[in-house]
Amino acid sequence: MRKLKIFAVSGLFAAAIGCSDGIDKEVELQEAMERELLRLATAQEGALQANGGYTANVRAILNPPPANGFSLTVLFVSPSRWGAEVANAESSSHCAMYVGVGEQTFLQRWPGIQANEPTCKPLPTGTGK
């Protein structure tokens, strides 16, 4: 009987560690998505200085490009403002950021988001992983 109790307790401990690993990976992915948005913000500021405006052409300004598995999409752009989202196929969240004045549909999609601050939230139900 004693061996069974030890096995059960160690099994619960192993299950708890497995959950922790999944949470840690999700946190790491969110942090990586936020870093990609901040890299984009730096690149956009370079484009603004060089060309007098922001750009939707992420590939032209972001070097190196987003890491494998990350999709970075500029959702709106004008010479004085931009907004983008980033996602990763292994994450149950996605992140966004905007600079300048947010576009109305973007702000509706991201309620509570603040300018110049990467924000993450769970993917809508039925999408993602």
- Is residue 115 in a domain? yes
26's tokens:
């999700």
pLDDT band at 126 (very low <50, low <70, confident <90, very high): low
Distance CA 36, CA 104 (A): 23
- Is residue 75 in a domain? yes
CA angle 23, 21, 29 (to 5 degrees): 50
User: Per-residue pLDDT averaged across 98-123, rounded?
Assistant: 94
In the block, tokens 């052409």 appear at: 57
Closest CA to 72 of 80, 81, 62: 62
- Is residue 127 in a domain? no
- Is residue 74 in a domain? yes
Whole-prediction pTM: 0.78
Distance CA 117, CA 106 (A): 14
Q: Which domain holds residue 74?
A: 2-122
pLDDT value at residue 127: 53
- Is residue 63 in a domain? yes
- Is residue 114 in a domain? yes
Q: What is the pLDDT of the chain when averaged over all its residues?
A: 83
- Is residue 129 in a domain? no
pLDDT value at residue 21: 65
Which tens digits make up the pLDDT trace of 57-90? Answer: 988 898 888 888 999 999 999 999 999 999 999 9
- Is residue 97 in a domain? yes
- pLDDT exceeds cutoff 60 at 3: no
Which of residues 11 and 93 earns the better pLDDT score? 93
- The string over 61-95, giving b where at least 16 C-beta atoms fall within 10 Å of a residue's C-beta and e elsewhere, is bbeeebeeebebebbbbeeebbbbbbbbeebebbb
- pLDDT exceeds cutoff 80 at 115: yes
Lowest-confidence region among 1-5, 78-82, 108-112: 1-5
Q: How many domains does the chain have?
A: 1
- Long-range Cβ contacts of 12-15 (<8 Å, 24+ apart): none
